[in-house]
Structure 1
Amino acid sequence: MSGINSKWIYLFVLSLIWGSSFILIKKSLLGLTPYQLGALRIIITGLFLFAMGFKTIRTIKSSDWKWLVISGVLGSFIPAFFFAIAETEIDSAVVSILNSLVPLNTILLGFAVFKIASTKRQVLGVVIGFIGTAILIFRGADLNPGQNYFYAVFVILSTLMYAANVNIIKKYLQHVKPLTIATGNFVGIFIPAIVVLLFTDFFSERTYSHPDFKMSMAYITILSFFGTALAKIVFNKLVHISTPVFASSVTYIMPIVALMWGFLDGESFGWIQGMSSIIILFGVYLSHKKKPKNVQKH
């Protein structure tokens, strides 16, 4: 298999995995509360990552642990709960589109907080992306009056935390291997997730007797293994055989996969929402489009 063909296969597989994670969250919520789902997602993913990367923990320097814990909280712990809370009120397809704001917010936070320079094209992409987001939210509220689109705030806050996490890794953990970062992240958030689970009624008879409990546990296990642990390995491989710019293009395809799942699950999606989704993705495209190199005159 040539490198050109294989990178497209990895991109497709990763898009399918991450794009399917939103419908898996929705299905997991049938028999679990958002807090149970978030805690279980962290615990199960942590177990998978410990099995794969526990030996790498010894290579972590003491000075890196602070940033690994902060990275874990912002990049995994809080969003795991926020996405679950959001999907109790908003369709999974809409959540997936809002999630595509991560690259835009990465640029915004990189400039505002981490003093990473941005181009005019990137700033324009951020503005266009937020216009599309506003249209998506307000139109969604009209199209689905039974849904509380205030819960979109949980997704937007999560994208800001994801963006902060990317900048933290870039600035403070660039020298640490990806699997080591992921494993270190979950070392820091594994015990807190167990504590959260203990304060829910997960271990009660009422939870176990719920008719959707077993299927929800199956969905959350699939989500944890494929949507988090395996996806990290696939993404790292994709970066290795291609470029970070090519790998980041997974952001464009994920919402398409999520929209297909949402449509098959009977979610409502109007043409204005479709147009606003295109606006968001166009903003993401502008923010990642390489500036053409200047041709030197001789």
Structure 2
Amino acid sequence: MGGINSKWLYLVVLSLIWGSSFILIKKALLGLTPYQLGALRVVITGVILFAMGFKTINTIKPADWKWLVVSGVLGSFIPAFFFAIAETEIDSAVVSVLNSLVPLNAILLGFAIFKINSTKRQIFGVVIGFLGTTILILKGADLNPNQNYWFAIFVILSTLMYATNVNIIKKYLQHVKPLTLATGNFVVIFIPAVIVLLFTDFFSENTFNHPDFKMSMVYITVLSLFGTALAKILFNRLVQMSTPVFASSVTYLMPIVALMWGVLDGETFSWLQAMASLIIFLGVYLSNKKQAKKT
């Protein structure tokens, strides 16, 4: 019972943290370019994780490093830039909704590539949840007709990367402690992020003198500390204690949190979006409800 309660607690906490990340990205973009934001997110998070878990790096086996490289690039590095780029054209709440494709991709990739079985109930639950996200997307497009939905490609590609990452963690890095796993990821991607940052004109008067620069740095620091560093550790633990599908279900709850932030930021929230949110909750429940044992 304790294990069941623990995984649901992790799911809720992660939903609150990551659901708030999209509004933080939106606010940070007021004074930073998407490439500066993505690079800073990795660099700041790396510094935080190194301070907490650098001593654990020597416990990583040589054979694990190849998977840590893939996990770090697909699960943290590229999405940090892609989400920032997407939010230059698409509303933050809509981006969070598109991110709900992760569980569906986790099941498809898990079955096709990683040979991880999924039950009919899980598949049905993911389809129901995906139906809810579709309603949210369509209604969001209706309320915001001027948004460029071609930029949704960046989010969709990120969901494929996230889905691949959760399956890699479950199959190849299950034995690595969550803090060690997160730290190892950022050991791999830290230097590339610094190089990108150097080429973004970040260290210039134009950047430092921007009226929104200081607040953008506050937003990106909060995002890095909670939305990346802490969340990565919690997510790695959730994947290890549950399944890739259950862990990916966090992306069903995130849009609800993100939409609430959107309302506070002046965005419109309709009754149809509220109904879609309930459908999403139903999908999470069905995809993770244990089947009754036959007697």
The structural deviation recorded for 1:15 is 3.5
- Alpha carbons of 1:4 and 1:61: their partners in 2 closer, same or farther (altered >3 Å)? closer
Could you tell me which residue of structure 2 aligns to residue 219 of structure 1? 219
The structural deviation recorded for 1:285 is 3.1
Could you tell me which residue of structure 1 aligns to residue 112 of structure 2? 112
Identity %: 79
The structural deviation recorded for 1:11 is 5.9
Could you tell me which residue of structure 2 aligns to residue 177 of structure 1? 177
CA distance in 1, matches of 2:259, 2:198: 34
Q: Indicate conservation of the 8 Å contact 2:100/2:133, yes or no.
A: no
- Alpha carbons of 1:285 and 1:100: their partners in 2 closer, same or farther (altered >3 Å)? farther
CA distance in 1, matches of 2:71, 2:235: 18
TM value normalised by structure 2: 0.88
CA distance in 1, matches of 2:148, 2:88: 9
The structural deviation recorded for 1:163 is 1.0
- Alpha carbons of 1:153 and 1:161: their partners in 2 closer, same or farther (altered >3 Å)? same
The structural deviation recorded for 1:59 is 1.2
Q: Which is further off, 222-231 or 4-13?
A: 4-13
The structural deviation recorded for 1:279 is 3.4
CA distance in 1, matches of 2:154, 2:75: 14
- How far does the alpha carbon of each residue in 1:54-104 deviate from its partner, in whole angstroms, 9 at most, with x for none? 011111111111100000011001111111111112222222222233223
- Alpha carbons of 1:238 and 1:71: their partners in 2 closer, same or farther (altered >3 Å)? closer
Q: In structure 1, give the amino acid aligned to 2:93.
A: A
Other structure's SS at 1:67 match: helix
Q: Indicate conservation of the 8 Å contact 1:101/1:280, yes or no.
A: no
TM value normalised by structure 1: 0.87
CA distance in 2, matches of 1:65, 1:74: 14
Q: Which is further off, 110-119 or 72-81?
A: 110-119
The structural deviation recorded for 1:52 is 0.5
Residue 244 of structure 1 is aligned with which of 235, 242, 245? Answer: 242
- State yes or no: 1:92 paired with 2:89: no
Q: In structure 2, give the amino acid aligned to 1:184.
A: G
CA distance in 2, matches of 1:254, 1:8: 14
Q: Indicate conservation of the 8 Å contact 1:45/1:228, yes or no.
A: yes
- State yes or no: 1:143 paired with 2:158: no
CA distance in 1, matches of 2:161, 2:9: 29
Q: Which is further off, 9-18 or 105-114?
A: 9-18
- Alpha carbons of 1:5 and 1:77: their partners in 2 closer, same or farther (altered >3 Å)? closer
Q: Indicate conservation of the 8 Å contact 1:77/1:189, yes or no.
A: yes
Other structure's SS at 2:42 match: helix
- The aligned runs of 1:41-80 (5 Å cut-off) are 41-80=41-80
Q: In structure 2, give the amino acid aligned to 1:153.
A: I
- The aligned runs of 1:208-287 (5 Å cut-off) are 208-234=208-234, 244=242, 248=247, 250-287=250-287
- Unaligned 5+ runs, structure 1: none
The structural deviation recorded for 1:113 is 1.4
The structural deviation recorded for 1:3 is 10
Other structure's SS at 1:101 match: helix
Q: Indicate conservation of the 8 Å contact 2:129/2:252, yes or no.
A: no
- Alpha carbons of 1:195 and 1:239: their partners in 2 closer, same or farther (altered >3 Å)? closer
The structural deviation recorded for 1:221 is 0.5
- Unaligned 5+ runs, structure 2: none
- How far does the alpha carbon of each residue in 1:190-235 deviate from its partner, in whole angstroms, 9 at most, with x for none? 1111111112121122111110011101110011011121234455
Other structure's SS at 1:32 match: coil
What number of residue pairs does the alignment pair up? 292
- Alpha carbons of 1:236 and 1:276: their partners in 2 closer, same or farther (altered >3 Å)? same
Q: Indicate conservation of the 8 Å contact 2:90/2:147, yes or no.
A: yes
Q: Indicate conservation of the 8 Å contact 2:39/2:194, yes or no.
A: yes
CA distance in 1, matches of 2:242, 2:6: 15
Q: In structure 2, give the amino acid aligned to 1:85.
A: I
Q: Which is further off, 216-225 or 111-120?
A: 111-120
Q: Which is further off, 170-179 or 284-293?
A: 284-293
- Alpha carbons of 1:93 and 1:216: their partners in 2 closer, same or farther (altered >3 Å)? same
- Alpha carbons of 1:287 and 1:7: their partners in 2 closer, same or farther (altered >3 Å)? closer
- State yes or no: 1:21 paired with 2:21: yes
The structural deviation recorded for 1:139 is 3.1
CA distance in 1, matches of 2:194, 2:69: 16
